[in-house]
Structure 1
């Protein structure tokens, strides 16, 4: 989860000319509130049984905005590609206009090849390999799941759970 500096809860408290980075007290307080709401939504949205545990870490980006990395362990883990595809997507949805709008505005990197892929054709400047284009998700030899990504635009999508995404944007 990333802090959105345009959340109304932040914007409404800024003075003219201020940005979220100018008021870390407001920004962090609102981020923690939204993160708490997300933690309440996760058990309701998870399709894989009871949550055994949750781990999270909060980091701050260069421009001063917090984001959280969250991992959960569930009772019934998805083990097949079909089960994984039911809970996680890496594609822009074309059959649901509302979800497509959410994904395009909140779940896409603004990475541009000329900026992020300066030196290596198949990796970004942080040495991360480019997400492969593939018609189907699969589990590789190391147990990692390269998610289905059909187009160049899908390479920029942050993986998401459609149900949790809906629930989170409704709060």
Structure 2
């Protein structure tokens, strides 16, 4: 799934809700099977001194979404759930935790973190300051583990069924 398509969808939805905010981080979680959760794209957004997690989730994977720029009637009723988009305002503790992790990740020198793909499992894509990090299933490097901590912290504010991973 293209993160740009997810970003455009969410940006259009948020246009009236979070004016004058900026993206601090983006996360795309893509499971291979529904038993591992839902495909979720979220942004950590900052406005003044407040942090928000803005998210959208997809009730099913549909290859047409890859090039989709608008939700049209031909996608069918079950393409997106009724509440596919949401906004959560972070409390002070959550904000400090996520902001600290974003600062630590910003210090990572490598441009990309990649790992091998597989047929089953899940993938994560994290974008911070225009730098993309991607890994499949369990993080294998220290940098990927740091990124996974950010993903876990952000997802702790979202419904549990969004990201189910084996521990």
TM-score, normalising length from structure 1?
0.24
Higher relative contact order (CA 8 A, sep 6+): 2
TM-score, normalising length from structure 2?
0.24
> Which structure features the higher share of strand residues?
2
